[in-house]
Amino acid sequence: GPRFSALPARDGSQPAPALSFEFFPPRTEALEQQLWACIRRLEPLAPRFVSVTYGAGGSTQERTHATVARIVRETSLTPAAHLTCVGASRGEVDDVARAYWDAGIRHIVALRGDVPGGGAYQPHPQGYAYAADLVAGLKRIADFEISVAAYPEMHPAAASPQADLDNLRRKLDAGANRAITQYFFEAETYLRFIDRCLAAGITAPIVPGIMPVSNFAQAVKFSAMCGARVPAWLGHLFAGLEEDAETRRMVAVVVAAELVRLLQANGVDEFHFYTLNRPDLVYAIAHILGAHARPAAG
Ligand code: FAD
């Protein structure tokens, strides 16, 4: 159907968006301090939840757990722990999930994961083969809130867009509450995907994953692996700014703000941000969306 091109009002009549922020678990003391400064900076924006990733093949199992447990203990935030099933038996995955539950974590982002170092995916012989099986297994353990991944431009290994949509439906039918998308750079990409989901009878929230990009070369490299198309105009915007990090960051805010405002104009009121443990771009973009810091308690 026709899309709105006018941007929504800024007079405060727009409902505040529902936000979530994604972090990765720190590997060093310095990165730990960076993460916690980031969490503290974003906390006043009162996100619905913050999520902590699970390193390739479960390589960050302890660090993910330690980070979400500290979020439970020390902040007002609701954490979600990512969990993958690649390379692990069902028993091992179940133990991790039970430990999350025992630490007070009630929300899991359930993923298949990838083979560390690349290569064709093979299910573990005693494992959950796909994310849909993992979701069903988690629901047998406890009544977790569960988010799963969705791919507006199709998962790179999917047989077809339709097969990938059927897989998304299996994950939701198995008990997932929402999907969070892989990042994308054009509003149309997401809006067309939502149309296809609705046409297929999928009505669960499909929250757009937003990745503010200030390092174009890095984004090109990463996008090739995860199947996100990088439009030529993005390259033009960053051309000549290779040595000018400050301008790149300002451009990154404008690009992401345009994207989220256009989504907002089309009725999207939930956003998931890939923070890469750096708060400034995300804070500015969330503010532009209408999320204003809540005054500190006390
Ligand atoms: P699935 O939903 O299982 O799908 C994987 C592929 O298999 C798809 O192509 C699907 O179409 C196909 N498929 C599914 N079922 C079948 C079947 N029965 N037969 C044949 N094919 C099938 N990775 C991490 O390691 N740690 C993280 O913390 C992490 N967080 C992420 C967060 C988000 C929001 C997103 C979008 C991705 C994240 N990833 C993470 C990456 C993810 O692990 C990879 O994209 C992975 O390749 C697919 O995971 P999935 O859960 O989408 O898999």
Q: Which residues of the chain have pLDDT under 70?
A: 1-5, 296-298
pLDDT score for 225: 87
157, exposed or middle or buried, with CB in 10 Å at 0-12, 13-18, 19+?
exposed
ipTM of the complex in this document? 0.99
Mutate to test the pocket of ligand 1, among 21, 64, 112, 223 (most ligand atoms within 8 A of CB): 112
- Report the side by side order of strands in the sheet with 145-150: 206-207, 178-181, 145-150, 107-111, 79-84, 49-52, 18-23, 270-274, 209-210
Pocket of ligand 1 (CB under 6 A): 53-54, 56, 82, 84, 109, 111-114, 130-131, 149, 155, 157-158, 163-164, 167, 171, 180, 182, 209
Which helix (H) or strand (E) is 253 found in, with range?
Answer: helix 245-265
pLDDT digits 0-9 by tens, 38-94 = 999 999 999 999 999 999 888 899 999 999 999 999 999 999 999 999 999 999 999
CA atoms within 13 A on the CB side of 58: 14
Among the listed residues 151, 149, 232, 252, the one whose alpha carbon sits nearest the alpha carbon of residue 192: 151
3-state secondary structure of 255: helix
pTM for the full predicted model: 0.97
Residue 53 sits at the vertex; the CA angle it makes with 69 and 39, to the nearest 5 degrees, is 60
CA dihedral 112, 116, 119, 120 (to 10 degrees): -20
What's the token pair of residue 160?
């077809």
Residues 6+ apart with CB under 8 A from 12: 290
